[in-house]
Amino acid sequence: MTKADIVEKVASGTGLTKLETEAIIEGFLNTVIHSLREGKGIEIRGFGSYKVKKKNSRYARNPRTGEKVFVEEHFVPVFKFSKDFKTAVDKGMKEKEK
């Protein structure tokens, strides 16, 4: 499912236009990015939480050449699904298999 598909589904379910829905979704995504850039986590109850994790510098190996390379410290965004979300997906997939 693409962002355009999500916009279409949300628009049809809410009665908003596609343009309004797209603006809301873009606003949400930009808010998430902005908050994470500031080091602030985001928690959406029943869905999951976003946070930034620091990865320390380290030595790694290039899998093709085996060459040892230095990887500088960096930050990566992380999303953790809530227990309710995982349960809902698991239940839906099990019903689909029947």
Q: Please state whether the predicted TM-score (pTM) of the whole model is above 0.85.
A: no
Q: What is the pLDDT of residues 57-82, one digit of tens each?
A: 999 999 999 999 999 999 999 999 99
Residue 55: how many other CB atoms lie within 10 Å: 11
Phi, psi (deg, nearest 5) at residue 81: -70, 145
Q: What is the pLDDT of residues 25-61, one digit of tens each?
A: 999 999 999 999 999 999 999 999 999 999 999 999 9
Residue 21: how many other CB atoms lie within 10 Å: 20
- Torsion 27-29-32-33 (CA) sign: negative
User: Do 52 and 76 form a contact (C-beta atoms < 8 A)?
Assistant: yes
pLDDT interval class at 20 (50, 70, 90): very high
Domain ranges of the chain: 1-40, 48-98
Q: Which CATH superfamily is domain 48-98 in?
A: IHF-like DNA-binding proteins (4.10.520.10)
